[in-house]
Amino acid sequence: MSKILITGITGFVGSHLADFCLAEGHTVHGFRRYHLSNTRNVGHIAARVNWFDCDMTDQKSVMKAIDAIRPDVVFHMASQSFVSPSWDHPTLYMDANYKMTVHLLEACLHSKINPKVHIPGSGEEYGEVTEAELPIRESTVMRPVNPYAVTKIAQDLIAYVYFRSYGLNVIRTRAFNHEGPRRDKVFGIPWYAYQVARIERGLQEPVVQVGHIDDRRNFTHVTDMVRAYWMAVEKCTPGELYLVGSDRESDTFTFRNALEQLIAMSTVPGIRYETVPQYVRPTQVPRLICDPSKFVKATGWQPTLGFETILRDTLAYWRAELDANPLR
């Protein structure tokens, strides 16, 4: 049994990681801010989590929490992860994704501990990738086209610095698109599913509002992704970089494909969709398709759930959420 700290435990991936770690018999610790607690995603396990009041933008707060917990493994899921607001809040995103990481790593040094610290990067870091450069590998040139991606690059590289400078056991991954229940409706697939569920309940006209929908991705179910993250801290080499995501052709689609499949799953016929300018980002990332062979070789990981399951699980989640609270 290990002592696990999950920063960002109340979020999408963090909550699924908590489910996984508890099921494996580990002790799970999580941060929550005394003035900003949203435990909706972890309500079913809240009593089993050891909670610490901690705001990761405050260095003293992080040092006190880390010294008290002294974790064996840290999954650093806390971040600003929604791309669109990063153009309007670039400093906030850097403070969150870079500075919180520095505070965490400094706290480990201060407490004289060396846990395995998983740093989850993003395929967004690669930005503008040509067809000729696919599939993306660890060595592919990064050309970020949004502030969020730049902050994730900074997070990744400062973690590498702490590995090289101080020997911290940093595990670096870059995850490609992963989806499923509990993902906020500001992201593409849950946004579509949320609107389809609203239409089914007569809460919205039968028109799904979208932004740019022709970017192509390889998609992984969140439960497969958290299993990959666990295998990363078990089997990957500190300091090394690994790309994580399904490379199956059956999991590679555009957002338009996802939207049309969700509409086909609906109980309401004749749903259509339209582009709304406010949902179109200043720049696009047209293709993020990874080669996870380095990670697969190190861990033996393989995805088990396909794209149709991702869509069905996401739609089922939003149907249930709206049944419980139609004002969501």
The pLDDT value recorded for residue 33 is 83
Helix (H, G, I), strand (E, B) or coil at 221: strand
Q: Are 127 and 148 in contact (CB under 8 A)?
A: no
Q: Are 70 and 111 in contact (CB under 8 A)?
A: yes
The pLDDT value recorded for residue 35 is 66
CA atoms within 13 A on the CB side of 310: 32
Residue that the structure tokens 């957002």 belong to:
255
Measuring CA to CA, which residue among 321, 66, 8, 43 is closest to residue 181?
321
Measuring CA to CA, which residue among 11, 98, 130, 110 is closest to residue 65?
110
Q: CA 121 to CA 172: how far, in whole Å? A: 7
Q: CA 281 to CA 24: how far, in whole Å? A: 40
The pLDDT value recorded for residue 205 is 98
- The widest CA-to-CA distance across the chain, in whole angstroms, is 61
The tokens of 11 are what?
A: 């979020």
Going from the N-terminus, what domains does the chain have, and what CATH number goes with each? 3-179+220-244 (3.40.50.720), 188-217+249-288+305-324 (3.90.25.10)
Q: Which residues of 218-228 are buried (b: 16+ CB within 10 A; e: fewer)?
A: bbbbbbbbbbb
Distance of alpha carbon 45 from its chain centroid, rounded?
20
Query: Distances from the Cα of 131 to the Cαs of 125, 128, 177, in angstroms?
Result: 16, 10, 18
Measuring CA to CA, which residue among 255, 243, 265 is closest to residue 213?
255
Q: CA 41 to CA 53: how far, in whole Å? A: 17
Q: CA 94 to CA 50: how far, in whole Å? A: 28
The tokens of 71 are what?
A: 């974790």
The pLDDT value recorded for residue 328 is 80
Which H or E run contains 252? strand 252-254
Helix (H, G, I), strand (E, B) or coil at 280: coil
- Model pTM score: 0.96
Q: Are 223 and 180 in contact (CB under 8 A)?
A: yes
The pLDDT value recorded for residue 162 is 98
Phi, psi angle pair for 114, to nearest 5°: -140, 65
Mean pLDDT by 10 residues, the chain (328 residues): 95 98 98 79 96 95 98 97 95 96 98 98 97 97 98 98 98 98 96 98 98 97 98 98 97 98 97 96 95 98 98 98 90
The pLDDT value recorded for residue 200 is 98
Q: Are 16 and 182 in contact (CB under 8 A)?
A: yes
Q: CA 204 to CA 292: how far, in whole Å? A: 40
The pLDDT value recorded for residue 36 is 66
